[in-house]
């Protein structure tokens, strides 16, 4: 069964404390893995798309990486404004929609 699992469900970090969020997937024919940020009461905001194993993308304090089974969103020296829910989603062969994970709620404490 195709699945997208994110861990941890929730993460509390001190400001400046680097960490990683995980998105593991068991889908056939991955055509793209997406990371989004979602603030409370808002729609998802696009962060990255990764297409193949070994690919990495960076944006400010965030870096996304992809293997054949999982993706990591690394956050370096986070700030309180990085607090949000981070969602990953996959796009697979034969599908006409994105399949979302349940997200990781990140809280960065000053």
Q: Which residues bind another protein (CB under 8 A)?
A: 31-32, 36, 41-46, 87, 89, 91, 95-98, 100-103, 105
Residue 16 C-beta: closest distance to another protein, Å: 27
Closer residue to another protein, CB minimum distance, 78 or 103: 103
Closer residue to another protein, CB minimum distance, 61 or 105: 105
Residue 42 C-beta: closest distance to another protein, Å: 6
Residue 18 C-beta: closest distance to another protein, Å: 25
d(CA 83, CA 81): 5
CA 51, 53, 88, 81 dihedral sign is negative
Residue 109 C-beta: closest distance to another protein, Å: 20
E-assigned strand segments in 1-110: 3-7, 10-14, 19-26, 30-38, 45-50, 56-59, 62-66, 70-75, 84-92, 99-100, 104-109
| Residues in the chain, total | 110
Least Cα distance to 98 among 21, 23, 8 occurs for: 23
Closer residue to another protein, CB minimum distance, 44 or 78: 44
Closer residue to another protein, CB minimum distance, 19 or 100: 100
């Amino acid at each position: 069964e195709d699945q997208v699992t994110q861990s941890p469900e929730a993460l509390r970090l001190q400001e400046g404390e680097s960490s990683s969020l995980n998105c593991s997937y068991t889908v056939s024919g991955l055509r793209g893995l997406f990371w989004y940020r979602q603030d409370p009461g808002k729609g998802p905001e696009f962060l990255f798309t990764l297409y193949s194993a070994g690919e990495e993308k960076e944006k400010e304090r965030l870096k996304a990486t992809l293997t054949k089974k999982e993706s990591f969103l690394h956050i370096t020296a986070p700030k309180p404004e990085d607090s949000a829910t981070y969602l990953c989603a996959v796009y697979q062969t034969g599908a006409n929609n994105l399949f979302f994970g349940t997200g990781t709620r990140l809280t960065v404490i000053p």
